[in-house]
Structure 1
Amino acid sequence: MKKHFQISPVLAQTIVDAARELIGKEINFIQLDGEIIASTDPNRIGSFHEAAFLVKDKRMVIEVSENDTFKGTKKGINYPVMIDHEMFGIIGISGDPEECRSRGFILTKITELLIKEQMTVRKVHSLDELRSSVVRMLIFENQKKDEIINEHLHQLQYELEENAFVAIIHLHGLNNPSSLPVNMHDILLKQGIKLFTYLFPNQYAIIGNESQYKAVFQSLETYFLSMDIRCSIGIGSVGVLEELVKSYKHAKLALKYAISKQSLLCEYTKLELEMIMENIDPHTRNDYVTKLVGELTEEEITLLHIYYKNNLSLKKTASDLIIHKNTLQYRLEKIAEKTKVNPRDFYDSVKLYVALLLQTL
């Protein structure tokens, strides 16, 4: 095991995101000093979590039955993250303790698995372990090309250029494991991708050279479409190796957008308005989204996404939804009644479009 191992905010965020996929609850990762460094609720990142000190002192699970019983703490259950008798942090589920308790075992096992995996990236043997090790050191630890990485790359017979990028492939169909392609390993190698790692529960992170950028994704797009593999790909920015952590974050943002638009592929460099919105205060963002589309159903939200995807075309939207044009007009009128904003009016439509974009960030 690696001595003095530190859990980075990037790795912690990956852990809470993976846990939420399976548990369906808000998840927080708290450092031993009480700071929340990762959360599925962006508003809580950087805040103080007083109950973490109680978990740290008692080295046991602590349940909180009421909000604000401790400073910065919501009701839920908080677990010490213990590996080889050493505490690395605290992870918690927000919600009614009675509902959360049954999910605790899954949460702690996911956390332990992902941390152990990262702790052992330097102890590798097979080529698959080598490629995974390089990717994880670069995107989770912000590791530079040191002797260990160079040795791994030499064994893989792969030259990593000075400029590279990260992309994330998200496989749809999590609730039906049999629908996930079991040969992603071979698929990626055949497309010339030698650096990739599996991210629990349904994603792969890849690193490619700048010179591969266009060819790789044209090849992947063609293959996935021809094989009818349901997935979305978020492509991060190109930068020097020391900035691959940033490229990974950009890839996650692009992936969110691709999933929300039901697109196969999205490049961060082509997100213009979205990049500006990313810097808007989270509280302002949430208030705007709630005000504009908070009353809409999931079906109505999907309708609007398809409506904007088709550039406000009633004919194309009705065709995609397999409904009559008059039915679509009726549903848009209902949305206008709920939101007090008319999606068929240009200026009002922009307001709704912005709200939908903010909702995906």
Structure 2
Amino acid sequence: MIKENFQISHTFAQMIVDAAKEVIGKDIDFIHLDGKVIASTDQDRIGSFHAAALQVQEKGSVVEVLGNEAFKGARKGISYPVIIDKKILGVIGISGDPKECKSLGFLLTKITEVLIKEQMIVIHSLDELRSSIVRMLIFENEKGDAFMNEHLQQLQHELEDRVFVAIIHLQGLNNNSSLAAKMKEILLEQGIKLFTYLFPNQIALIINESQYKIMLKRFESNNSFKYMNCSIGIGSIGILDELSKSYKHAKLALKYALSKKVTVCIYAKLDLEMIMENIDFHIRNVYATKLIGVLSEEEITLLHTYYDNNLSLKKTAEELFIHKSTLQYRLDKITQKTGENPKNYHDSVKLYIALILQTL
């Protein structure tokens, strides 16, 4: 059975485009039926008008955009109608060469349909039940009604007034479906009742505030999580109305955990990152590109290691298995490329900020 009058929220649409980009590798937009971009992998496009989407609705089929601004607000690429049960729910577009994008279109629409249908399905099993509750709370902001209370009782779970979201990123989940089943077993053993799989390789959890400290310890020290080779982002604690915010914060923390290659990252401990998150996306991107855009991946890794070791040349060289003089040479090359000296305090701060902005 399918839910009636289903609406795609901004948070859910953003999850769709983020998940699709992980598979396709292109910038993707989700456009509402009124032509407004409600989610995008390019944050600058959210809220803009996309004329090609209206053309998609009118034709009820794919529209190729052969050049930027061929349609007002649209970029070169292809736009597809999102059709569920013969009804257009929105439009999703891929930016890039239309010929190249065309080969990705089928995969994109299938990913989108699967994610939306999963959100729309009425519950039949306990797994579907827990998944549906998590998705409603995070993506649809539903709470506290008779439906929710009744189904929480079925799971024998009491939801507190204050909760938080955690996101687990599993390496290799696409190639090993048993990993998801194993993680489900581990979560239930830890007393976590509310979680759902997010395409392509993540699991979102909703946890009560009273479990916050103990779950942080378990995430960091429990051998089961370490054995699963996962990274975990912990969102902020808040009321049920703020779950979509906690989800966003958990995503930021997870992104930082993945960049630092650590098991757990807690949003509440990301002091500079929290401030910088509120800087306009375009400004963040311009600043990071200006300072470190010329650096190679190896040089970026070197700087991360340098800062992780508190600017110690000796410790950095040891971790990178290079001679101290080699490290000095490579830092000098970074100075030549960027105009900023990592060994100078003020210049070093600028480069450090650029590295953080690159991970947001």
**TM-score scaled by structure 2?**
0.95
Q: Secondary structure of 2:55's partner? A: helix
Q: Give me the whole-angstrom Cα distance separating, in 1, the residues matched to 2:354 and 2:74.
A: 29
1:101 paired with 2:102, answer: yes
1:328 paired with 2:332, answer: no
Please list every run of 5 or more consecutive structure 1 residues that lacks an aligned counterpart in the other structure: none
Q: Within 5 Å, which residues of 2 pair with 1:132-281?
A: 132-173=131-172, 177=176, 180=179, 182-224=181-223, 227-281=226-280
2:51 corresponding residue in structure 1: 50
User: Is 1:142–1:245's contact at 8 Å kept on the other side of the alignment?
Assistant: yes
Q: Give me the whole-angstrom Cα distance separating, in 2, the residues matched to 1:318 and 1:296.
A: 19
User: Is 1:292–1:339's contact at 8 Å kept on the other side of the alignment?
Assistant: yes
Change (3 A) 1:178 1:305: farther
What do residues 327-349 of structure 1 show as CA deviations (whole Å, max 9, x unaligned)? Answer: 22222111111111111111101
The one-letter code sitting in structure 1 at the alignment partner of 2:95 is: S
2:359 corresponding residue in structure 1: 360
The one-letter code sitting in structure 1 at the alignment partner of 2:200 is: P
Q: Give me the whole-angstrom Cα distance separating, in 1, the residues matched to 2:293 and 2:206.
A: 37
The one-letter code sitting in structure 1 at the alignment partner of 2:116 is: I
User: Is 1:261–1:309's contact at 8 Å kept on the other side of the alignment?
Assistant: no
Q: Give me the whole-angstrom Cα distance separating, in 2, the residues matched to 1:30 and 1:320.
A: 47
CA deviation after TM superposition for structure 1 residue 207, in Å: 0.5
User: Is 1:224–1:230's contact at 8 Å kept on the other side of the alignment?
Assistant: no
Q: Secondary structure of 1:87's partner? A: strand
User: Is 1:132–1:197's contact at 8 Å kept on the other side of the alignment?
Assistant: yes
Q: Give me the whole-angstrom Cα distance separating, in 2, the residues matched to 1:91 and 1:359.
A: 26
User: Is 1:191–1:220's contact at 8 Å kept on the other side of the alignment?
Assistant: no
Q: Give me the whole-angstrom Cα distance separating, in 2, the residues matched to 1:297 and 1:224.
A: 35
CA deviation after TM superposition for structure 1 residue 153, in Å: 1.0
Q: Which stretch shifts more, 69-78 or 221-230?
A: 221-230
User: Is 1:29–1:92's contact at 8 Å kept on the other side of the alignment?
Assistant: yes
Q: Secondary structure of 2:311's partner? A: coil
What do residues 40-71 of structure 1 show as CA deviations (whole Å, max 9, x unaligned)? Answer: 11111111111111101001001111111111
Q: Secondary structure of 1:233's partner? A: strand
User: Is 1:318–1:324's contact at 8 Å kept on the other side of the alignment?
Assistant: yes
CA deviation after TM superposition for structure 1 residue 119, in Å: 1.0
User: Is 2:167–2:254's contact at 8 Å kept on the other side of the alignment?
Assistant: yes
Q: Give me the whole-angstrom Cα distance separating, in 2, the residues matched to 1:201 and 1:160.
A: 27
What do residues 125-164 of structure 1 show as CA deviations (whole Å, max 9, x unaligned)? Answer: 2221111111111000011121111111111111111111
Please list every run of 5 or more consecutive structure 2 residues that lacks an aligned counterpart in the other structure: none
Q: Which stretch shifts more, 257-266 or 4-13?
A: 257-266
Q: Within 5 Å, which residues of 2 pair with 1:284-303?
A: 284-303=283-302
2:85 corresponding residue in structure 1: 84
Q: Give me the whole-angstrom Cα distance separating, in 1, the residues matched to 2:73 and 2:24.
A: 22
Q: Give me the whole-angstrom Cα distance separating, in 1, the residues matched to 2:181 and 2:129.
A: 20
Change (3 A) 1:85 1:175: closer
CA deviation after TM superposition for structure 1 residue 181, in Å: 6.0
What do residues 224-276 of structure 1 show as CA deviations (whole Å, max 9, x unaligned)? Answer: 57743322111111111121111111111111222222221111111221111
Q: Give me the whole-angstrom Cα distance separating, in 2, the residues matched to 1:145 and 1:274.
A: 33
2:31 corresponding residue in structure 1: 30
Change (3 A) 1:333 1:228: farther
Q: Give me the whole-angstrom Cα distance separating, in 2, the residues matched to 1:41 and 1:305.
A: 25
1:40 corresponding residue in structure 2: 41
The one-letter code sitting in structure 2 at the alignment partner of 1:94 is: S
The one-letter code sitting in structure 1 at the alignment partner of 2:205 is: I
Q: Secondary structure of 2:107's partner? A: helix
The one-letter code sitting in structure 1 at the alignment partner of 2:234 is: I
**Post-superposition, which runs of at least 4 consecutive aligned residues in structure 1 deviate over 6 A?**
none
Give the total of aligned pairs: 359
Q: Which stretch shifts more, 333-342 or 171-180?
A: 171-180
Q: Give me the whole-angstrom Cα distance separating, in 2, the residues matched to 1:133 and 1:226.
A: 24
Q: Secondary structure of 1:183's partner? A: helix
Q: Secondary structure of 2:330's partner? A: helix
What do residues 172-223 of structure 1 show as CA deviations (whole Å, max 9, x unaligned)? Answer: 3467548956511101111221110000100000001101001112112222
2:69 corresponding residue in structure 1: 68
User: Is 2:134–2:205's contact at 8 Å kept on the other side of the alignment?
Assistant: yes
**TM-score scaled by structure 1?**
0.95
The one-letter code sitting in structure 2 at the alignment partner of 1:104 is: G
Q: CA RMSD in A?
A: 1.7
The one-letter code sitting in structure 1 at the alignment partner of 2:243 is: L
User: Is 1:172–1:180's contact at 8 Å kept on the other side of the alignment?
Assistant: no
Q: Give me the whole-angstrom Cα distance separating, in 2, the residues matched to 1:217 and 1:348.
A: 35
Change (3 A) 1:130 1:176: closer
The one-letter code sitting in structure 2 at the alignment partner of 1:262 is: K
The one-letter code sitting in structure 2 at the alignment partner of 1:332 is: L
Q: Secondary structure of 1:125's partner? A: coil
Change (3 A) 1:332 1:176: farther
